[in-house]
Structure 1
Amino acid sequence: MSPSPQKPSLSPASPPPIFAARGLRKVYHTGDLNVVALQGVDLDFHTGELAVLLGASGSGKSTLLNILGGLDIPTSGSLHYKGWDLSGGGERTLTQFRRNCVGFVFQFYNLIPSLTARENVALITDIAPDPMKPEDALDRVGLSHRLDHFPSQLSGGEQQRVAIARAIAKKPEVLLCDEPTGALDVNTGITVLEAIERINRELGTLTIVITHNAAMSAMADRVLHLSDGHIVKESRNAERASVSSLQW
């Protein structure tokens, strides 16, 4: 009996992107003035990627991040998160997306002064469907020894790391960071970036970081350069540089 024919081996398909954006355009209306913040942006982001959005003030970085995070909607174009339509799903869809899927880190820490580090993080873990413990989140950013300190008892870098712990405590698949070191000195900023890089590496969280500091490009898998609402250049690093090796 002749052997049964073998099926040809197939290479595994590339995993679908977490985010797929096509033709994103955002126009802000101020009186009689129309300000075009994004002009037809197409891009994909994938699981575990660390991407840096680089560009001058007014280039469209924050607008793009706000749309990716469900804080704003595009004027036109489409945005899908794992096949979920964020551009046309309505406020209920965006609220569910923000609550369950994405963590935010901003330039300013937005901690509640009357709550300890542990309690600030617990604000998120109390409402998330499957959170990590506040103590575990703070340990991941190197603050297990500061659990019961109030923001006024923490340095700027420590406060920002509490903000990162709060953002990751819900176990989001996406971490969006808008100028996370903008209010910090170089040495403190390095500590904060090391915490962000560690979260990306250990949890596989898609991490997108806005900056105007080109030195941070070397820590990323991919760098997107924005100008006047366009992605004018995209580059990839064959290897990510360690944060401590960045040339500031």
Structure 2
Amino acid sequence: MQSQETEQQDSAIASPARPIYALSQVSKTYRVGEVEVHALRSVSLELFEGEFVVLLGPSGSGKSTLLNILGGLDVPSSGEVYFRDRLLTASNDAALTQFRRQHVGFVFQFYNLIPSLTAQENVALVTELAARPMDPRDALGLVGLAHRLDHFPAQLSGGEQQRVAIARAIAKCPEVLLCDEPTGALDFETGKLVLEVLERVNRDLGTTTAVITHNAGIAGMADRVIIMRSGEIMRQQHNPTKLSPAQLEW
């Protein structure tokens, strides 16, 4: 009996995390004049709860299109996208808007802060729409900006502005954080500070995090790296040992 209980415990420990996203044969085609552009080609993929994923590839590889579909900002031309048990590809615009508000935080390369609002006020804009928001001061404290609450974007460095953008994204307590080239406009040292914040959010809050980048140096901090080219997933690799952002080089 004891052996059977031990086997059950071992099996539970070995069970993989539950998929938070499941994509099946997802394609996206844009028409530019008379030319069809195949941004995604039959992509099948799962993302798991609490996972830190890096989507790696050059410009035009389909990374941003895939991220936009995951976030409900775009819809595929064909295929299915599930978020947990919800079929996103059956949702209308209003339902996708609610999905984004309730479940997803976005971080972009450019910070999109409102210049006339302080850091705290920029974050508070999002919390007013969220069902279970974090206090804006707590969100800014989590990204190391508790001392900059009342500063305007023009009074902040690029790295500090990006951290305000991350605080704004996590303040609504999303289940998923989607990041589009979050270090693309930053220098090496500042970029590593921003990556440290993303790592902390993933670790401390358990937020499933996907970062798209063309910078292969960032891949070492991921649980899993998804390499894309020409709208397809070429291969995936798991990092047996994750690097801290301080250990990254590029």
> TM-score, normalized by length of structure 2?
0.95
In structure 1, the partner of 2:172 is: 170
Deviation string 1:200-248 (CA, Å, 9 cap, x unpaired) is 0000000000110000000000000000000001000012100000011
Q: Quick one: structure 1 residues 199 and 7, their matched pair in 2 at CA, closer, same or farther if it must change by over 3 Å?
A: closer
What is residue 97 of structure 1 aligned with on the other side?
99
* Aligned match of 2:130: 128
Asked if 1:239 corresponds to 2:241, the answer is: yes
The alignment status of 1:115 with 2:109, answered yes or no, reads no
Shift of the alpha carbon at 1:15?
4.0
**Greater CA radius of gyration, 1 or 2?**
1
Structure ranking higher in helix proportion: 2
Structure 2 counterpart of 1:220, from 209, 219, 222: 222
In structure 1, C-alpha distance between the alignment counterparts of 2:214 and 2:117, rounded to whole Å: 32
Of 55, 66, 69, which aligns to 1:67?
A: 69
Which residue, out of 7, 19, 22, partners 1:20? 22
Give % identity.
Answer: 60
**Is there any run of 5+ residues in structure 1 with no aligned partner, and where?**
none
Which 5+ residue runs of structure 2 have no aligned equivalent? none
Query: Which residue of structure 1 lines up, in the alignment, with residue 191 of structure 2?
Result: 189
CA distance in 1, matches of 2:98, 2:22: 18
Classify the secondary structure of the residue corresponding to 2:89. Answer: coil
Aligned to 1:79, what secondary structure does the other structure show?
strand
Aligned pair count? 244
Q: 1:9 Cα shift?
A: 5.7
Q: Secondary structure at the match of 2:182?
A: coil
Q: How many Å separate the matches in 2 of 1:201 and 1:245?
A: 17
- Give the drift of 1:108: 0.1
User: 2:215, 2:169 → 1: CA distance?
Assistant: 23
Tell me how far 1:32 sits from its aligned partner.
1.1
CA distance, structure 1, for counterparts of residue 187 and residue 164 of structure 2: 17
Contact kept, 8 Å, 2:50 with 2:206, in 1: the verdict is yes
Counterpart amino acid of residue 156 in structure 2:
L
- CA-CA distance at 1:14 after TM superposition: 3.7
Distance in 1, matches of 2:224 and 2:5, equals 37
User: RMSD between aligned alpha carbons?
Assistant: 1.4
Q: What is the CA–CA distance in structure 1 between the aligned matches of 2:134 and 2:243, rounded to whole Å?
A: 29
